[in-house]
Amino acid sequence: MAVTKSSKIESIMVDYNSEPPTVMVRTLTTWDDKDDDMLPMSQGSAKTITKTKKTTTYNETTGEATTTESATDYSGEDANVKAICDLVWS
C-alpha cells in the first residue's frame, strides 16, 4: 500500500491590471493508492507570483518603518512558469 502524490499545473495566467504584471498559477495535486477505495483524492491550489517582494522592518526605538524591495526567487517553479515569468518581466 503506497500512496502516490502527483501535481499538475492546470493554468498559468498573466494579470496585466497591475504594474508590473503578476503571474497566477493554478495546480491540481492528487493522492492515489490502487488498493484504497477512498482514493484518489485531489486538491486544487493557486498562487500569485510577483516580480518583486517588499519587506518592511520597524526600528525598535523609534518605530520608523523601512521598506526594502528585492526580486522574487521563482527558480524552484516549473519550467513553463519560469519561462512565462521571464517573458513577462524581461
pLDDT value of position 1? 63
Query: pTM for the whole thing?
Result: 0.77
Identify the residue whose cell numbers are 513553463: 80
Identify the residue whose cell numbers are 528585492: 70
Q: What single-letter DSSP state applies at residue 62? A: T
* Percent of the chain residues topping a pLDDT of 70: 99
The domain containing residue 79 runs over which residues?
4-89
One-letter amino acid for residue 21 of the chain:
P
Smallest CA-to-CA distance from 32 within 42, 22, 40, 43 is with: 40
**Structural domain total, the chain:** 1
28: left (phi over 0), alpha (psi -120 to 50) or beta: beta
Please report which residue ranges of the chain form alpha helices under DSSP H.
79-89
Average pLDDT along the chain, 90 residues, taken 10 residues at a time: 90 94 96 89 96 93 93 94 95
